[in-house]
Amino acid sequence: MGLDLLIQTLLPAAIAGAIGWWRPSLFWWAAGLAVWATLGWAAHWYFWPSRGIHWLPVVFWAVALAGLVPAATGRLLRLVLAGGVFLLALWPLLPRYPEAIIGLLAFLLWQGWREWRPGPGVGIGFVAGAAMFTLVVAIGGSVLLAQAGGALAVLAGFLWLAGLSRGLPDREMTAGYVLWLALCWQFIPLDWWVVALALVPPLVDQGLRGRGPWPAALGALASAALAGAVGLWLVWPKVSLY
């Protein structure tokens, strides 16, 4: 069973990452397809979203669509399209849990800061953050969301490698990352501060990029280890999982 979960999580994302490495213009199309394949393979295949998590692949396709227009227009279009996907994913929750809209606000603030902030565009923060929080989510109560997080970590890893050699930025990963965290917050009994720990590694990474790639990478990895330890301590069950 463990091997099946690993294959479902890693294989589609690895194939998509390889496609994106070979042809960067296809990265976000392939990334959405990989997340869709992971969700369908792990749970059930679908062709129209019927649950909040089903919208996670669509946010990557929204990024891909925004990339088809000139850069200045694409920035605004990315916010509009990804924001619309957020609303569709969280809409069923808003009548009972209006605080879910915080996920959309967090995305808009973070993405806006990244879009208009000068400086290097790639780092390891999303890789470390997604990998760390995937373990927290798995222990916290959702294997499916943990698999989605594992796929995001693999995709972010390929994006980081592609960015090192081809200058592919990672700011577009913000939408998928924050939507995943918002879904984890709303569909698993996790307190907001536990979910907020997953924001620390990419924010530390992005905050330190002006000091150079090594300080940023070391800061992201150190903060991920610390945040992961705290998160696991907060969600670890009081009785044995077995």
The string of pLDDT tens digits covering residues 111-159 is 887 777 655 567 899 999 999 999 999 998 789 999 999 999 999 999 8
Write out the two tokens for 129: 């953050």
On the question of pLDDT at 42 being above 50, the answer is yes
Which pTM was predicted? Answer: 0.93
Write out the two tokens for 37: 């394949």
Quote the CA–CA distance of 49 and 8 in Å, as a whole number. 19
The string of pLDDT tens digits covering residues 85-110 is 999 999 988 888 888 899 999 999 88
